[in-house]
Chains A and B, each alone.
Chain A
Amino acid sequence: MSQTTEPSNDGAAVTEEAKITTAEKEKKADEVVEEEEEEEEYVVEKVLNRRVVKGRVEYLLKWKGFSNEDNTWEPEDNLDCPDLIAEYLQKQKSAHEGKRKAAGDTDGDESKSKKKKDDNEKLRGFARGLEPERIIGATDSTGELMFLMKWKHSDEADLVPAKEANVKCPQVVISFYEERLTWHSYPSEDEKKDDKH
């Protein structure tokens, strides 16, 4: 958004001319003279800027073969360099409308770059991710039937709900029950005594 700075003027009746620096004013006058004197067309090298004055669009031009000190504002209608104007406008557009890549600040949302494997002390039962080896005990003191599970590659047994074990390792559960099957014969004498009461 560069533009040649012009001195600001206070005061009521500010004329257009007063706004233009004296140097430019001279140039303008010169150019008018030159244009009238010679039929030669000056070649625009580049369009540098754009403004609207009195409802008319003007472009700041760099002239080929002249230094930057000779740049002038010209009304759009006087110009015959549509390509250069288009180029200027396009550059303005792409400079402003550029896509912006990721900033790189993720506010700590990103995934961890390194992870420590914690001891499974806090994790219990199947959550430890170990493979069941065998059930070594059972209890329902918690209100629910639980198995004491010995895991592979660990010497730390812990309790798992029977409901979970029945689904996740049924064969291990079956082995446990089979190992503990006992065949009872009921003592008949005692039973008869009770019935009498």
Chain B
Amino acid sequence: MPTKKVVDERIAKFKNKGKDLAKLREKRISVCVQLRKAQKNESFLKRRNITLSSLPDEEALSPENNTVSFRIEDIIKYVNSDDREAQTRGSQAARKLLSKSHDPPIKEIIDAGLLSRFVSFLLMDDEPTLQFEAAWALTNIASGTSWHTQQVVEHGAVTAFINLLASPMLHISEQAVWALGNIAGDGAAYRDVLIECNVIPALLARISPDTPVGYLRNLTWTLSNLCRNKNPCPPLSAVQQMLPSLIQLLHLSDKDILSDACWAISYLSDGSNDRIDVVVRTGIVPRLVELMNNKELCVMTPALRSIGNIVSGSDLHTQIAIDAGVLDVLPKLLRHPKPTMQKEAAWALSNVAAGPCKQIQQLITCGLLPPLVEVLRNGDFKTQKEAVWAVTNLTSGGTVEQVVNLVQSGALEAIINLLLVKDAKVILVILEAVNNMFMAAEKLGETEKLSLLIEELGGLERIEMLQNHSNEMVYQAAHNLIEKYFSDGDLEEVQVDTTQSGFELQVPDVKKTFEF
């Protein structure tokens, strides 16, 4: 058995083992420095007057960091020169300045007149490094304000970038995707300019089973920007072109791809019913409902938004969503810890409740009344607003039995408690719900019972007070209710057969019977 000493000696002969840490570190640094020196010497044999920029750029001071920061004057010199290497170095330096996290000097670069040079570099297929640096620099300029993006477009970058999509160098093609995403994201105008220039087929051609995930992420994001913005919406022909690929992307598993693909669908479904129709016809709704259940918030949010848009469409669209199982997912989302999730879920629910009584029945059967009442009681105000709409819509389109169901679930009590809010619109919607409940009660001949119930729940007091509300419509609506249903005296109620009343204050477990 070898002694420790022998082992140590042998190991010491091996490359790095046995040497002390300081020496190893020294060695590492010297390797880096050698690399840097070699490359620098290669390109700057003729140029000796490079100066390191003064602060605030801390890059220059770090010994381990080999990025050399240039002043803008130097960058201009190099970029405008005729030497390819200098152009590359200058463009790279510009790119690095433009990639700073804090205050990139976009305006200075633009004012220096470098944009046309950068755009011309995009065309140099024989100089990929130059192309790449210029593309990156232009990407970051286009990521600024509308004016910045405008400068990029007006210097002719659009066609150059679209052509770069076909580059055999994947990283260059990807950079072009990114730049085009920034241009499309500026607004409907440039979005449509890109579409006119046939950007979509060029983009879709890059999707293949071999496309790396990082590339697909950028591509999906750019596609989503091409779906984005209204006034006007993207041209229908463009949408039709993009949809099949979006559907494909929605079946992948990367969360960033799924997130942006869902955002794209949410933009496409945010519009008139015929736009929703185009989306629904792809058959994507079940997958969207599935994605509402995804563990990633960045996927759930746009999936829910898309479904919310879809159920704001026709009854048919809503039915498709219901058939896909949306009503089974909504209760969970109504109880989600994030208030915006609850709000969006309540909004979607309110639109389902605005449908025919068949759909309202499905809503009730799937157990959506208890979580609805929960958010009416405990949700944040924006969520409560949406929930109030759900109640009113249900009272409007629901059958008498469904309205009774609603009252018995505690919704009436909850909305009465909301009569104290400052928002006049909300109060009006609540009073409408109460009015609708009375209309249902009339059919059962139980308006007096409902009046009693409302009184017991403290609603009469509040409605009476609302007769003094500053908003004209509110005090009128409150007054009408009092007049119609709460005035004393000679209201002779037509008696109906003594079945169990739907409108008495009841424990929820008690069964009810109706005679129709």
Contact = CB atoms under 8 A, between A and B. Distances in A.
Interface of A: 1, 3, 5-6, 8, 12-16, 51-52, 54-55, 57, 92-93, 96-103, 106-107, 109-119, 121, 129, 131, 136-141, 148, 150, 153, 155-157, 180, 184, 191, 194, 197
Interface residues of B, number: 91
A29 to B, nearest CB: 20
Contacts of B5: 194
Interface string B4-45: 011000000101110001001101100110011001000000
Contacts of B447: 52
B493 A3 contact: no
Given A3-B480, A153-B129, A99 B139 contact: no
Nearest to A50: B439
B260 A111 contact: yes
16 contacts: A3-B476, A5-B479, A15-B490, A57-B442, A100-B354, A110-B263, A111-B221, A111-B224, A111-B263, A115-B181, A137-B28, A139-B28, A153-B128, A153-B171, A157-B35, A184-B13
B35 A150 contact: yes
Contacts of B477: 1
B13 A6 contact: no
Contacts of A92: 396
Contacts, number: 158
Nearest to B433: A96
Nearest to A107: B340
A115 B143 contact: yes
Nearest to B146: A114
A155 B66 contact: yes
Contacts of A131: 171
A14 to B, nearest CB: 6
A148 B31 contact: yes
Given A51-B484, A99-B313, A113 B347 contact: no
A141 B6 contact: no
Contact of A139 (B16, B182, B302, B313): B16
A46 B178 CA distance: 60
B413 interface: no
Contacts of B66: 155-156
A109 B225 contact: no
Given A54-B492, A99-B313, A180-B15, A141 B25 contact: yes
